[in-house]
Amino acid sequence: MADLLIDDDGAVRILTMNRPEKRNALNLALSEALYDALREADSAADVRAIVLTGAGPAFCAGADLSEFAALSSANTALVERRADITANLHGVFSQLTKPVVTAINGAAMGGGAGLALAGDIAIMSATAKLGYPEVKHGIVASVVMANLVRQAGRKAAFELVAIGEPIEASRAVELGLVNRVVAPQMLMHEAMQSARAMAAVAPQAMAATKSLFYRVAELPFDKALEAGREMNQRMRAFRKDKP
């Protein structure tokens, strides 16, 4: 079976991490397949939105610890390759022109929590949990920290990475880490509803919205206003109702 399942439902591409026996842990093969699939979906003319979820009871358990033995100073090429794909994977979501909905069907831990939060919209099953347990394994929630501190308050984010205890879905939505929590049986329905709503938007407008959103999030207020003014001028070129 493929580590990643790819299905199209109209203009929505569904990516399903498919290592249920490993709780969809991110080995090198799955990480590279997911990165490539996200880039491919972004370049596909008939795809307007993406949904990411996991097969089986978990969303993603994070890094596959069984691969760590090979990541030593004796194998620097593999260490660099793994670090590169991890950083590229978690960074690519905001660079895509198409929106991504994460459907968090079960436990999302470590790198899996990073993927869950990387979606433009995150919808979580009421029975799922989210956490960063790396510190309990004597390592650091390193790459995923960049996204976490931008989405949660500093006190909450530090507690998550420093104590390593998972949080319930209700707490995740309180912290603003996910958009909403739904019953497990409604998860994919809600995720697809959100994806289809965004897929119905003119592609140029959606791409520009994503680009500006992530740009202004990192800019000082005056620079953000200037970026908005520039986009305000440019967007007239792709309005549906222009003469």
At 215-243, the pLDDT tens digits run 999 999 999 999 999 999 887 766 655 54
pTM: 0.92
SS3 content of the chain, % helix, strand, coil (to 5): 55, 15, 30
**Beta carbons within 8 Å of 68's beta carbon, 6+ residues apart:** none
CA 229 distance to own-chain centroid: 29
**pLDDT value, residue 234:** 84
pLDDT at position 78 is 72
Q: Answer yes or no: CATH 3.10.20.30 is held by domain 4-198.
A: no
pLDDT value for 79: 73
How is residue 139 annotated by DSSP?
Answer: S
| Domain extents in the chain | 4-198, 201-238
Neighbours of 51 (CB within 10 A): 25
Collect the ranges in the chain with pLDDT lower than 50.
243
Q: What pLDDT score does 243 carry? A: 47
Give SS3 for 6: strand
**Helices 111-118 and 76-92 meet at what angle, rounded to 10?**
30
Determine the pLDDT at residue 73. Answer: 63
Supply the pLDDT for residue 213.
95
Q: What is the pLDDT of residues 11-47, one digit of tens each?
A: 999 999 999 999 999 999 999 999 999 999 999 999 9
Catalytic residue (choose from 134, 159, 174, 218): 134
DSSP of 101-121, one letter per residue?
A: EEEE-S-EETHHHHHHHHSSE
| 190 a catalytic residue | no
Q: Can you tell me the distance from the alpha carbon of 70 to that of 73, in angstroms, rounded to the nearest whole number?
A: 9
